[in-house]
């Protein structure tokens, strides 16, 4: 008799436990399309072509959005931004590098703001969202050109 109760409870546990696990991971299921038609990546990738000729590129990366969270907290799951980055050094002076990058950014449809303190910024509308690009330099002559667009759906929140 006790054995039958145990078997029934075990059978019930075998059904209930997977359902409970499935419900706890529901918040982790992906939702929406972070970059419909790849509009954001199509706008960001050409930004990396703004690196001046003759510059030595030490790193270049394009990253599509992926489903993520803040330290695995279930209430924070969402899509990461779409990004592009180039890190480079150039023998050209600051004014030459910034003039070149600014001209390319204008041709690509980005609006810029005057740089201050080694940072220059641009923005552009992409699929109803505002994408941003930033050019930064340091005292050693290293440059970083970063472009970012927020996801179209369900961004990571609460970080």
Q: DSSP secondary structure string, 102-124? A: HHHHHHTT-EEEEEETTEEEEEE
Rg (CA), the chain: 24
The confidence score (pLDDT) of residue 28 equals 62
Q: CA–CA separation, 151 vs 14, rounded Å?
A: 39
Span of 27-31, 72-76, 99-103, 129-133 with lowest mean pLDDT:
27-31
The confidence score (pLDDT) of residue 10 equals 54
Question: Which pLDDT tens digit goes with each residue over 126-142?
Answer: 999 999 999 999 888 89
Q: What is the pTM of this model?
A: 0.77
The confidence score (pLDDT) of residue 32 equals 86
Identify the sign of the CA torsion 67, 128, 118, 84. Answer: positive
Of 13 and 152, more confident? 152
What mean pLDDT is predicted for residues 146-159?
92
Residue 5 pLDDT > 50:
yes
């Amino acid at each position: 008799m006790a054995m039958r109760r145990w078997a029934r409870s075990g059978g019930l546990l075998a059904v209930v436990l997977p359902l409970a696990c499935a419900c706890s991971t529901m918040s982790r299921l992906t939702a929406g399309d972070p970059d419909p038609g790849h509009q954001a990546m199509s706008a960001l990738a050409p930004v990396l072509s703004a690196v001046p000729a003759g510059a030595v590129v030490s790193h270049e990366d394009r990253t599509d959005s992926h489903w993520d969270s803040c330290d695995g907290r279930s209430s924070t799951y969402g899509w990461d931004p779409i990004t592009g980055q180039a890190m480079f050094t150039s023998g050209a002076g600051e004014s030459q590098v910034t003039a070149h990058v600014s001209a390319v950014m204008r041709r690509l449809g980005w609006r810029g703001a005057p740089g201050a303190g080694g940072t220059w910024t641009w923005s552009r509308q992409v699929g109803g969202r505002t994408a941003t690009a930033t050019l930064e330099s340091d005292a050693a002559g290293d440059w970083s050109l970063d472009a970012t667009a927020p996801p179209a759906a369900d961004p990571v929140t609460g970080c």
